[in-house]
Chain A
């Protein structure tokens, strides 16, 4: 669906199933330069297994209009404005939500949890870490809207095994699909997002307000974008459970869809 949020038309995916008042809400937030399509399998699965699934495109991303939020804090504020709007006017129940996010999107939802801890049931973070420094070379290439920025992310985001392929989804190249997605980002969007990741310093405040034991981090063992050291630091800071996926890089949802689903199910079906 497309709804108006703060003057911009915002795209919100539902996993193909309408929301119901009695269901728990699972919001899944995409990462830098991407959009909701990274969640396609998880969104469709959980929408058919008792959840109201919400997969927004941030402003300036995918099917959403507007300028991309400048910081992780701004992205988190936008999520709450969006959720308040969906709960007030679009049939999403006004209950605490499970916030999930990938990479930058994980920082976004963590920050959101810190901003309104009582409105969050659980945090489910995919392929992320803290801090999330971005190399100057990548930032410069992204600022110049150079293809090399997309290329670097496409290579570093996939394990060697995934670069060779053998995707569980027949006939789909996960690496080339990620590239095509990044190339569709508007000028400056990727740089905006990478800059926001690089600049974010708010995790200590999140840990203070959100409290331990309410977060799960799912990470790939071969992630070169947010290496395991940083994932462990983040997990430690938030008192999170860490689930490590085998033979998997940064694009956990597309590289290892079944492992990712099973890890998410362990969290969502028990909480």
Chain B
């Protein structure tokens, strides 16, 4: 039977996690720019440290402004809780290290943001954590790579920059059959375009810096716990399901049930690594989040028109966006991303690197910089910038050629964007 309705996405984007301030009546979320919070009495103080009462102690661990953003993202993602971090990379690090340590193993898509690839390839191995990279379009490869010491499967919803779409239902089923959670970077799709948790993901992270904020003025990240993974039954996660000497012998599953993972991430990872989000940045990100649904619709609408324009242009050899009928994941995108596959994609120019350089330097509206998901349109050459630390083979595996150009389509008038692309393509054509 049909039941009552939950509050809608657009409503949650505006209201979740916040009530008008009880002291002042402020409608907007106040910026609680305070490192610490006064205890009403000694009982409250000790109870907060014992996790026997709710409240804030110190802004590295929680802050009222940041908490609004955390709860809002948790509500939008359908998660039991969230922890905000100083950046998207901090969210990935927190998400992984909450459940992995020396001797641990990760199975990851080989098509990842360059910074993530770097973390998994070079930095985490220094701490004894190994990663096996697999083709995100081959679910069986994930299954084959899982070992007894594997602690998490990691991938992006839509990979950057060639837009490989992860078949989350299939990969999550494979991970769960092995007793391993699926962690997803959903930065490029946001919860508006895809509900990764409903599709089977257990942990979701975002770089809030991108579409979630949308304005390009604040760096931040968030980690969301779906609350459905059975940590105890898996038997692979003593960090979550056995007493933790670093926190009064707390067994997080025993105490918090569905919220065990996210509580552990806060009580250990934020406390000890300290990559917390500032309340000022949380405020900026909240302002952006309020308009996420409208912005994403416009991002997608503009992107589809630009994909169509580029696909028909003589100087373009290929366009890698799932909206394009020739994209390998075109059909999967219709199923998993019915509202659109996002606004970050790549295309290849005839003429390789020289044409690419000429094209980028000729653009006037598109800004040449290392970011995506801004309200303003952006462009970059991945092989020489965001993915420059990958070796040649890793670049080939990730499908990043010398002539590949990445666009992040913004909210400008699409006719102006197409006009800008058109004049730049003319200049690039001289190198074709």
Contact = CB atoms under 8 A, between A and B. Distances in A.
B78 A176 contact: yes
Given A171-B74, A184-B258, A177 B3 contact: no
Contacts of A163: 6-7
A151 B82 CA distance: 21
B170 interface: no
B138 interface: no
Interface stretch (A19-27, A37-45, A232-240): A37-45
A146 B1 CA distance: 8
A181 B228 CA distance: 8
B47 interface: yes
Interface of B: 1-7, 15-19, 46-47, 50-56, 62-63, 66-68, 70-72, 74-75, 78-84, 226-228, 230, 232, 248-250, 254-259, 262, 266
A169 B228 CA distance: 19
Nearest to A45: B52
19 contacts: A13-B254, A44-B51, A45-B52, A63-B254, A155-B6, A165-B17, A166-B17, A167-B17, A167-B67, A171-B62, A171-B70, A171-B81, A171-B84, A172-B262, A173-B79, A173-B80, A176-B75, A176-B79, A184-B230
Nearest to A167: B71
Contact of A151 (B3, B81, B256): B3
A261 interface: yes
Contacts of A171: 62, 67, 70-71, 74, 81-84, 262, 266
A199 interface: no
Interface footprint category on A: 35 or more
5 nearest CB pairs, A to B: A37-B257, A171-B70, A168-B54, A170-B62, A180-B227
B227 A44 contact: no
A173 B7 contact: no
B4 A166 contact: no
A44 B50 contact: yes
A31 B256 CA distance: 16
Contact of B67 (A45, A149, A170, A177): A170
A224 to B, nearest CB: 10
A163 B80 CA distance: 13
Interface string A230-271: 000000000000000000000000000110010000000000
Interface of A: 13, 16, 35, 37, 40-41, 44-45, 47-48, 62-63, 137, 140-141, 146, 148-149, 151-152, 154-156, 161, 163-173, 175-177, 180-181, 183-184, 257-258, 261
A57 to B, nearest CB: 10
Nearest to B83: A171
A166 B286 CA distance: 14
A151 B6 contact: yes
B5, B53, B63, most chain A CB atoms within 10 A: B53
A152 B78 CA distance: 16
B258 A140 contact: no
A166 B255 contact: no
Contacts of B3: 141, 148-149, 151-152, 155
B249 A164 contact: no
A154 B7 CA distance: 12
Contacts of B18: 164-166
A172 B2 contact: no
A45 B54 CA distance: 11
A154 B75 CA distance: 13
Given A13-B254, A184-B258, A165 B71 contact: yes
Given A141-B3, A163-B7, A176-B78, 16 more contacts: A16-B248, A40-B51, A44-B50, A44-B51, A44-B52, A45-B53, A146-B1, A165-B16, A165-B17, A166-B68, A171-B70, A171-B84, A172-B80, A172-B81, A176-B79, A177-B258
Nearest to B266: A171
Contacts of A151: 3-4, 6
Given A16-B255, A172-B80, A177-B258, A155 B54 contact: no
Nearest to A176: B80
A28 to B, nearest CB: 13
Nearest to B197: A176
A257 B15 CA distance: 21
Given A166-B17, A173-B80, A16 B7 contact: no
